[in-house]
Structure 1
């Protein structure tokens, strides 16, 4: 079911971004989703039961899928997310706020990228951050995050949980949390239950 992207950005030797503009080639309402498995990224947002990509396009959102290896240095992977955010802002037409988040470890790298950008006083234009089965950081990664500020303070934070096997992030820092049943797959596909809930809360 996966559709070829309109463009691909190489963010680093190990990370790429797949670009799906809603209308033509222009980025207007960016939705950046990070995942840690390249070939599973599209299955997560474009599976046979539900296509988050299609639903985003219908609402005029431009999907940008950032993919990096499932393991690696958190700071370096977050730098790829930051590169994607900055390039998106540079190419965007208009001033619509960004939506930034991820699945599994991708949620963690997106979180780190936003926290570091705020610490460095870089504008990320992000109004909403979402974590879909976000991985909990290791002890070392948690220390790195704490030194930067732990959580981004500018965007609204949403948490989507499917009770998968990986350690997931919980906490009062989230404005809202949606809990649902898990779907199978190396990267858990975004279900209609979770996708519809998230779409209703987009800026």
Structure 2
């Protein structure tokens, strides 16, 4: 049975489900799903028996915000949805704990572009950690736009999770990320494997 979110955010061209660790939104982790993955499927993957990412985040006091993107969306349009989610989270957050923002597949690319564009526009995204799991490589028509904004956000700590054989458009230079982990594809159906999830949580702000 799919868990019921504490709140539903209807955003321009996207919808987000908010799962609180406590009474209020205090330590937001925004995770953007791959293109065309609906929120119910994202939630079930975050609660998977193989690795329950949502429970692990909640145990450390982190709230989870899942953002679903429509099939076939553009990098720029989906990046805008990420920006709207970030702004909503900072507006509704209690306290001043920094955000954690990332995604998987096309969602990772959208998060990368969304945060980079906010920095380019000098908008404070209040994000301390940016993570990418098997990020989609930008299409040829998107590369120039991404380069124009700096290629990726520069302010947050950048954590990169890449399965063997996946091209995330960032090349093979480990120095591109502040920390990187590589592994084999996980076929369990979990949103992140236990290896990746544990590695990520160890690097999030306390």
Residues 162 and 180, structure 1, Cα contact 8 Å, conserved in 2? yes
Residues 134 and 162, structure 2, Cα contact 8 Å, conserved in 1? yes
Q: CA deviation at 1:144?
A: 0.7
Aligned residues: 199
CA deviation vs aligned residue, 1:160-186 (integer Å, no higher than 9, x gap): 11236x53244432011111221237x
Query: What's 2:93 paired with?
Result: 92
Residues 182 and 188, structure 1, Cα contact 8 Å, conserved in 2? no
Query: What's 1:20 paired with?
Result: 19
TM-score, scaled relative to structure 2: 0.91
Query: What's 1:4 paired with?
Result: 4
Residues 135 and 169, structure 1, Cα contact 8 Å, conserved in 2? yes
TM-score, scaled relative to structure 1: 0.92
Segments of 4+ moved more than 2 angstroms: 166-172
RMSD: 1.6
Q: Distance in 2 between matches of 1:151 and 1:70?
A: 23
Where in structure 2 are the equivalents of 1:29-68 lying within 5 Å? 29-35=27-33, 36=35, 37-38=37-38, 39-68=40-69
Query: What's 1:140 paired with?
Result: 141
Q: Would you say 1:183 and 2:195 are equivalent positions?
A: no
SS in 1 for 2:197: helix
